[in-house]
Amino acid sequence: MERTPIGFLLVALGGFVGAVARYGVDVAAGDVTGLGTFTVNAVGSFALGVLVARATTTRTQLFVGTGALSSFTTYSTFVGDTVALGTAAGARYVAASYVVGFAAATVGLVAGRRL
Amino acid sequence: MTDPVLAAALVGVGGAVGAMARHAVGLRIAGRRSVVVVNTLGSLALGAVLSAPIGANAALFVAVGVCGAFTTFSSFAVETVSTAADGDTRVAAGFAAVNLALALGAFLLGTVAVGRIASVVAGLL
């Protein structure tokens, strides 16, 4: 499934949905540098934690996990925002994103196992 | 100002391309390494794109869509905490640090490289 055209199609469709949703959050977050990216990364890390802890089908993992959630979150814009914030604020931004992102993923993994 | 529907379409199609490219990398490189590879390459590309003289629509497609979706924070976070939960806390910490160092370095490299190219091109014109 992963290597088939259907697998790539599921990833592409999920990627479309995830990227548009991320853009929507960015627009809603307004001009505060990093706020939108911080939000999507925290929410997406929680949701991916839930997903990988659940025994779902390969199709679901490809569409929701590899496609939507992995595209909803982003590392490149996270790095770009870090640089834009400068050394001191950038370091705080990285620390906050890491702490909250890891906590969200942990809570998601635990919640996913219990659901 | 880009029309909102066009903007969403550009970001979405770019996101589909970026997600498929990330999936292709994931099929060739296993586990944590693929996350480092996509995050580094995508950050290099974003640094270059943001420094290049491109229009708003191209930026939405490439920067927000392709680079944004090609790289991933959620897989990075889940890989990190799963590794730590398995007892490999040093590996997890190293992975988190290496991701940041390589992606940050790549982003700055992309920025500088395009700046150099732009000044060379400007000198030729």
pLDDT tens digits along B87-107: 999 999 999 999 999 999 999
Residues of B in contact with A39 (CB under 8 A): none
Looking at residue B120, what is its pLDDT?
87
In the stretch 19-78 of chain A, residues with CB closer than 8 A to chain B read 19-20, 22-24, 26, 40-41, 44-45, 47-49, 52, 62, 66-67, 69-78
A39-98 residue pLDDT tens: 999 999 999 999 999 978 999 999 999 999 999 999 999 999 999 999 999 999 999 999
The complex's ipTM works out to: 0.96
Kindly determine whether residue B11 and residue A23, on different chains, have CB atoms separated by under 8 Å: yes
Are A21 and A43 in contact by the 8 Å Cβ rule? The answer is: no
Residue B1 has pLDDT above 70, yes or no: no
The pLDDT of residue A1 is above 90: no
pLDDT tens, residue by residue, A104-115:
999 999 999 997
Instruction: Map tokens 């996101």 to a residue.
Output: B15
Give pLDDT, residue B76: 98
In chain B, domain spans: 4-124
Is residue B2 predicted with pLDDT exceeding 80? no
Structural domains counted in chain A = 1
pLDDT digits (tens, 9 = 90+) for B8-58: 999 999 999 999 999 999 999 988 999 999 999 999 999 999 999 899 999
Angstrom CA distances, B1 to A16, B8, B24, B57, stand at: 22, 13, 34, 9
Query: Are A48 and B77 contacting, i.e. CB atoms less than 8 angstroms apart?
Result: yes
Structural domain of residue A81, as residue ranges?
5-114
Alpha-carbon gap: A87 to the closest alpha carbon of chain B (Å): 12
